[in-house]
Chains A and B, each alone.
Chain A
Amino acid sequence: MKLSIQLNGKPWQVDCEAQETLAEVLRNTLNLNGTKVSCEVQVCGACTVLIDGAPVSACTYLAYEARGKSVTTIEGLEKPDGTLHPLQQAFIDEFAFQCGYCTPGMIMSAKALLDENPKPTRDEIIHHMDGNICRCTGYVPIVAAIQRAAEVIAKESKK
């Protein structure tokens, strides 16, 4: 069947099968490999993408359900001039990843949080991010990166 979505700000139409997940269509059909698949049961958060701004596990979300909706993946955060999203930059600055496999999902979940709540407390960050697993970092630098990005975004919006 034909699937029409708004993907990272551009309209796309692709063929997909009824049983295909959004992660499969993104990775296999659209060659957007930034969305990583790990647990496949909506527990680890590695495949998090935004559907109309809300975080969703692409591993268990049928591609068909995204019809007519706006999908944002990790590939959609960098500006055309190469400027990174404040979260991406903060993840680099705070050493908030090691192997990097959880990172795209982690950043997408964090983006959903900051879009909704630009000044989260530490507890709010922990509560919101609890569905994303990282095995490398012990989470400490990820919390710091989200806090740093929130500060950067606040400063930018004042300008």
Chain B
Amino acid sequence: MSAEKKTDFHIVNHSIPRRDGRVKVTGKAQYVADLKLIGMAYAKVLRSPFAHAKIISIDKSRAEAHPGVYCVVTGYDLDGLNPYFGHAVKDHPLLAIEKVRYAGEPVAAVVAIDERTAFEALEFIDVKYQELKGVFTPEEAMAEDAPLLHEKKFEAGALRGFEGEVTAGKGTNICQTHKIQWGDVEKAFKEAASVVEGNYYFPMTYAYAMEPYVSVADVTDQGVTIYSSAQHPFMVRHDLKSIFNLPVSKVRLIVPFVGGGYGSKSYTKVEPLTAACSWKAKRPVKLQLTVEEAMLTTRSDDAYTWMRTAADANGKIIARQAKIYMNTGAYAENSPLVVEKSTNRCVGPYAIPNVLIENCSLYTNTVPASSYRGFGCAQVTLPGESQIDELAAKIGKDPYEFRLANAAKPGEEFFPGMRPFDGTLKQDLDTAAKAVGWGTPLPKGHGRTVAVSGSDAGAYPLTSTAVRVHADGSVTIMTGSTELGQGSHTVLPQIAAEALGVPFENVNVVSSDTAITPYDRSTGASRTTTLMGSAVLEASQEAIQQMVVMAADVLKVKVEEIQTVRGGVRCGEVELNWSQVISKFYALPDGEVIGRSYIRKSGKFAALPVFWEAAATGVEISVDEDTGKITMEKLATVGDVGLAINPALAEGQDIGAATMGMGIGLFEELVYEGSQLMNGSILDYRLPRFSDLPKHVELHLVQNQDGVGPYGAKGGGEASLNSMAANIANAVDRAVGVRIREAPLTPERVWRALKDKKSKMED
């Protein structure tokens, strides 16, 4: 709980227009794609056609002789570098070394005077492969005669983001395992009044940030400087430091505006390869991937889940058990954390006395999987929230009432060892149910459902910031948080302006330059408002403390005689604003005060998760029984965000997340046929469009100031995605009486399920 429940806010809790509004609507906002450095060359990547193959030889002589080509870089040219990266498991070579592990893996890069020349030269590189047997699903990867993807042993990366060990590199294709257990599951299932059980599949998906991965690297004796579309510049810096064996102070990551992330730009992607190109070509190099290449870079883990859930005669959930196999692709990336999180998130926001969840992710010869908005939560919320509805139906309870009866209560320690629940699910569910008209009659072929998500936010508390108050009273926030569109450049100044009592317009943000801005672990896991927001608040307060001491010095009084007022200080009859305090202190109208803050896993941030990310969604759908096509009639989102620093931005996160979740529920899916990704282009990968917009949308926020963040705020922006696939599956069941346990619920899948139901009825 927040110590003070302030409510008379001047600037926070107001929907102030975005700070980056004007530059973004006039086309002036700069992204890495727009960047040109003097003398810059361009790189293009040759990718493996084979999913698993030994590299016998690479002849690059013809390509290097091509006019306009500076150099060609291959896995044989990396002597002097530590070419493997990965914050959890250092398993990822920046270019394939000795073998390739998925179709589409970078094998060589051409650096040339322009992109076209680099592209032309790719076909002059002659690579000889010896194809190896590949594995493409967890089942194949686990088979006794399965070929090994990684022969090396790996140590756990210090920055892996969880406390357990890594499983990778122990002589199998297992990338990571995780298990949670409490109570006595076997006994509970034996004694249960009712049990539901099923197998579920959640597909591999592509985040499609509109800006594909891009970076510009300049490697000189001064160090490594990289402009990147990365969400987490400080995490990328760590990988580059290791690759080039440099001190942290010689690696600089700069991130301007990012054209969408959604987790897909978490951690290191194309930066090591771009830097290696610059190192070889001895000049700045830009590597801009196409969307097709981006689809060969990162995807989400697909998940095969067996789950069962039990209730007693009173309608209380007494046990849940699940076994999950995740397909993590060729390299670990952030999947070990995804495994841990999806294991925990199987429990849902429910108080269940007997739990056993076992999770195992496997390396396969497919595109590496990593973070995707919600970190493994959507994968297990499909089975989790499906079974809540299935169980409610089995025992004849209203699924909304059944959820209310079992949801974690505010302050309840429902997950052993974790922070007590800090949301209000009853209010979330009530709001969602009301928004979709719960209890009112529905036309035939329509279904209505609500679902919840409550996840242990992955936000790790390690954040620092500096808030500089200038002699004219204006303020610069130095933040390592990246503006991905979520609105950090608006929300952080709102917090500083509120705390310092200065106008919002006078607070500026400098962000995401590791040489300048203080350390922030990442921009992901819904952490920025809570953690960086807290840091900005604390740093503003620390600046005030310094200015109080300065005011005492200036007025030649004791510090205790100085009283703070909004935007300045008072001492008796004398009032000074911050500008006057600083100017008088330095005896010139110039200079500044620097407020600082260091946030770590301590004090109010000691218990993890830092917050429970909670949200409810409600939908009404209709099903065309002739075609199986689902139409979204209504969608409601309810973000349980503690306090929305900027309500319009918080609602924007929810509708954006819910729409991505709707896409996965209805049609998004990366499809492999054997070794090849079959729909690795935007022509073939179906994304939500304007015409998929639900006919009626309601956005709600629940604001009980129950978070540990500034003024009781906590994170949002993932949870509305997580429950959507389950919501759609549940609504289809209620509309037309078929239970589909895999996403997406394409017209074909719904139509086939209806046909099966019909033929069973006829039998």
Interface residue ranges, A against B (CB under 8 Å): 19, 27, 32-41, 43-44, 46, 73-75, 77-78, 84, 88-89, 91-93, 95, 97-104, 107, 125-127, 129-130, 132-143
Q: Are B31 and A101 in contact (CB under 8 A)?
A: yes
User: What is the bound-complex CA distance between A110 and B236, given in angstroms?
Assistant: 38
Residues of B within 8 A of A40 (CB): 290-291
Nearest-neighbor residue (CB-CB) of A104 within chain B: B27
Known interface pairs A73-B27, A99-B211, A107-B25. Does A130 touch B656 (Cβ–Cβ under 8 Å)? no
B4 beta carbon closer than 8 Å to chain A: no
A88-B660 in contact given A99-B485, A135-B208 (Cβ < 8 Å): no
**Given the complex, which residues of B lie within 8 Å of A127, measured CB to CB?**
690-691
* Chain A neighbourhood of B29, CB < 8 A: 100
Answer yes or no: B234 CB below 8 A from chain A CBs. Answer: no
Query: Shortest distance in angstroms between A106's beta carbon and chain B's nearest beta carbon?
Result: 9
Closest 5 CB pairs of A and B: A34-B27, A99-B485, A98-B485, A101-B259, A100-B24
**B659 located at the interface, meaning its Cβ lies under 8 Å from any Cβ of chain A in the complex:** yes
Given contact pairs A44-B682, A77-B26, A97-B24, A137 touches B655 in the complex (Cβ within 8 A): yes
Find out whether the CB atom of A99 lies under 8 angstroms from the CB atom of B210.
Answer: yes
- Is B484 part of the contact surface with A, judged by Cβ < 8 Å? yes
Docked-complex contact B655 and A138, CB < 8 angstroms: yes
A88 touches B258 (CB 8 A): no
Report A-chain residues with C-beta under 8 Å of the C-beta of B25.
Answer: 74, 84, 88-89, 91-92, 97, 100, 103-104, 107
Cα–Cα, bound, A27→B693 (Å) = 32
**A-contacting residues of B (Cβ < 8 Å)?**
15, 17-18, 20-31, 33-34, 116, 207-212, 257-262, 290-291, 484-487, 648-649, 652, 655-656, 658-660, 681-683, 687-691, 693, 697, 699
Pairwise interchain contact B683-A98, C-beta atoms closer than 8 A: no
Most chain A CB within a 10 A radius of its CB, from B25, B30, B682:
B25
Residue with the highest number of chain B CB atoms closer than 10 Å, among A41, A84, A101: A101
A100:B655 contact, CB within 8 angstroms: no
Q: A88-B25, A101-B31, A138-B658 are in contact. List 8 more A-B contacts (CB 8 A).
A: A36-B33, A38-B211, A43-B682, A126-B690, A127-B691, A130-B691, A139-B689, A141-B655
Nearest A residue to B637, CB-CB: A138
Cβ of B24 and Cβ of A135 under 8 Å apart? no
- Using known A-B contacts A93-B17, A135-B209, determine if residue A39 contacts B291 with beta carbons closer than 8 Å: yes
Residue of B nearest to A32 (CB): B27
Per the bound structure, the CA–CA distance linking A77 and B28 in Å amounts to 12
Q: Indicate if the CB atoms of B210 and A98 lie closer than 8 Å.
A: no
Q: In the complex, which residues of chain A have a beta carbon less than 8 angstroms from the beta carbon of B17?
A: 92-93, 95
The answer to whether A38 and B212 touch across the interface, beta carbons within 8 angstroms, is yes
Kindly identify which residue among B259, B262, B658, B660 contacts A100, using a CB–CB cutoff of 8 Å: B259
B26 surroundings in chain A (CB, below 8 A) = 34, 74-75, 77-78, 84, 88
Q: Are B659 and A44 in contact (CB under 8 A)?
A: no
Residues of B within 8 A of A135 (CB): 207-210, 260, 262, 656, 660, 687
A100:B257 contact, CB within 8 angstroms: yes
Bound form: Cα–Cα A14–B533 in Å: 48
**Chain B interface SS verdict (over half):** loop
The minimal Cβ–Cβ distance linking B115 to chain A, given in whole angstroms, is: 9
For the complex, what is the distance from the CA of A97 to the CA of B688, rounded to whole Å? Answer: 16
- Complexed CA–CA distance, A100 and B27 (Å): 9
Give the CA-CA distance A77 to B211 in the complex, in Å.
23
Q: Contact between A102 and B210 (Cβ–Cβ < 8 Å)?
A: yes
Contact between A130 and B689, CB atoms less than 8 A apart: yes
Q: Would A43 and B683 count as touching, CB distance under 8 A? A: yes
- Please, could you name 10 A-B residue pairs with CB atoms under 8 Å apart, sorted by A? A36-B210, A77-B26, A92-B21, A100-B25, A101-B31, A133-B208, A135-B209, A138-B659, A141-B652, A141-B655
- Contact pick for B22, options A33, A84, A140, A142, CB 8 Å: A84
Closest to A106 in B: B25
B15 to chain A: which residues have CB within 8 Å? 95
B648 neighbours in A (Cβ, 8 Å): 95
B652 pairs with A74, CB closer than 8 A: no
A129 pairs with B682, CB closer than 8 A: no
Least Cβ distance of A138 to chain B in Å? 3
Taking a contact as CB atoms closer than 8 A, the residue among A41, A99, A101 that contacts B683 in the complex is A41
Is the pair B485, A129 in contact by a Cβ cutoff of 8 Å? Answer: no
Closest to B646 in A: A95
Residues of A within 8 A of B484 (CB): 98-99
Give Cα A74–Cα B27 distance, bound, in whole angstroms: 6
Contact A136 B291 (CB under 8 A): no
Chain B positions within 8 Å of A84 at CB level: 22, 25-26
Assembly CA distance A54 to B528 (angstroms): 41
Most buried by A among B27, B260, B484: B27
Bound Cα distance from A135 to B653, whole angstroms? 11
Partner of A38, one of B210, B257, B258: B210
How far apart sit A73 and B484, CA to CA, in the bound complex (Å)?
Answer: 24
Q: How far is the CB of A89 from chain B (nearest CB, A)?
A: 8
Residues of B within 8 A of A44 (CB): 210, 682
Q: Judging by beta carbons under 8 Å apart, are A143 and B690 in contact?
A: yes
Q: How far is the CB of B481 from chain A (nearest CB, A)?
A: 14
Which residue, A43, A100, A130, has most C-beta atoms of chain B within 10 A? A100
Complex CA gap A101/B213 in Å reads: 13
Q: A38-B212, A99-B259 are in contact. Are A137 and B652 (CB under 8 A)?
A: yes
Verify B22–A36 contact, CB threshold 8 A: no
* Chain B residue contacts of A104, Cβ below 8 A: 25, 27
Closest to B649 in A: A95
Residues of A within 8 A of B31 (CB): 36, 101
Question: For the complex, what is the distance from the CA of A139 to the CA of B688, rounded to whole Å?
Answer: 9
**How far, in angstroms, from A41 to B699 measured CA to CA in the complex?**
34
Question: Residue of A at shortest CB range from B258?
Answer: A99
User: Is A136 a contact of B683 with CB atoms below 8 Å?
Assistant: no
Residues of A within 8 A of B681 (CB): 41
In the bound complex, do residue B18 and residue A130 qualify as a contact, i.e. CB atoms below 8 Å apart? no
Contact (Cβ within 8 A) A139 B210: no
CA distance A32 to B30 in the complex (A): 11
B residues near A32, Cβ cutoff 8 Å: 27
Residues on B with C-beta less than 8 A from A139 are: 659, 688-690, 693
Closest B residue to A19 by CB, please name it. Answer: B116
* CB pair A98 B211 closer than 8 Å: no
In the bound complex, how far is the Cα of B689 from the Cα of A38, in angstroms?
A: 15
Known contacts A36-B259, A135-B207, A135-B210: does B682 contact A41 (CB below 8 Å)? Answer: yes
The CA-CA distance from A78 to B330 in the complex, in Å, is: 48
Kindly report which residue of chain A lies nearest to residue B208, judged by CB atoms: A135
Contact B691 A101 (CB under 8 A): no
Docked-complex contact A75 and B693, CB < 8 angstroms: no
B259:A95 contact, CB within 8 angstroms:
no
* B659 nearest CB neighbor, chain A only: A138
Complex Cα distance, B23 from A107, in Å, reads 13
A139 to B690, CA, bound (A): 6
Residue of A nearest to B259 (CB): A101
Quick check: B683 and A95 within 8 Å, CB to CB?
no
B21 proximity list for chain A (CB < 8 A): 91-92
Cα separation A152 to B29 with both chains bound (whole Å): 25
A101 to chain B, nearest CB (A): 3
Contact A98 B22 (CB under 8 A): no
Chain A residue numbers with a CB within 8 Å of B210 are: 36, 38, 44, 46, 99, 101-102, 133-135
